Structure 1
Amino acid sequence: MLIYKIVPRGLWSQAEAAGEFGGSPVDLADGFIHFSTADQVGETAARHFAGQHDLLLVAVDTEALGSALRWETSRGGALFPHLYGPLSLQHVSSTIELALDTNGRHRFPDALA
């Protein structure tokens, strides 16, 4: 199963240089890296990244993360994937640009739309 992280391009460039992603400022404050499922990522983008440019959508296979990945209750009682520890870039399945459409909403790949 794939899970997704929305990341500003500059922050991801730092992760690429380091070989791992330690998290965004919100992740660091919360003590884990926030991820979303395919069903959740659109709402995550709308709530937390509305109108933001220069974002990437990072896909990670859950099987690669082992016990550091926990499913915890969050927004509206839904279970969200949280990674306790850094994300090794070797576990990243894909990284794509998350562009805005003409209405200012993020365009997701057809598989996630």
Structure 2
Amino acid sequence: MRAARPKQPYQVFQIDHTFFKNYEGQTCNLASIRPALQYLPSGEIKYKLRHPEEWTILPQRRPNKPRELLAPLYNEAKKLKPDKIRHLQILKQFLPIEYHPFYDSLQSE
């Protein structure tokens, strides 16, 4: 790691168990808070400020229209240029076979 940047080498410290401290019950004046965020598939965002706490829903304004009522941006899949299709077919040999049907289904202009 030290040799990764010869002109400005990284400072590398080897740490052991004595590096980690117990901050439970300590008060601390921080310049900023960096919460842990959890993004849920439902669109909700949860956060917690301390590791042992439970996740809390982040209050946020709801959009005027639910996502289901919004019109789709495209009516059909975008067609690719023939060269792009050919290049993707070449790359297919490096991908797992379960992804091949996706590349076979791409449409050309």
TM-score band (shorter)? under 0.3
- Rg comparison, structure with higher value: 2
More strand by share: 1
> Whose helix proportion is higher, 1 or 2?
1
Of structures 1 and 2, the one scoring higher in RCO (CA 8 A, sep 6+) is 1
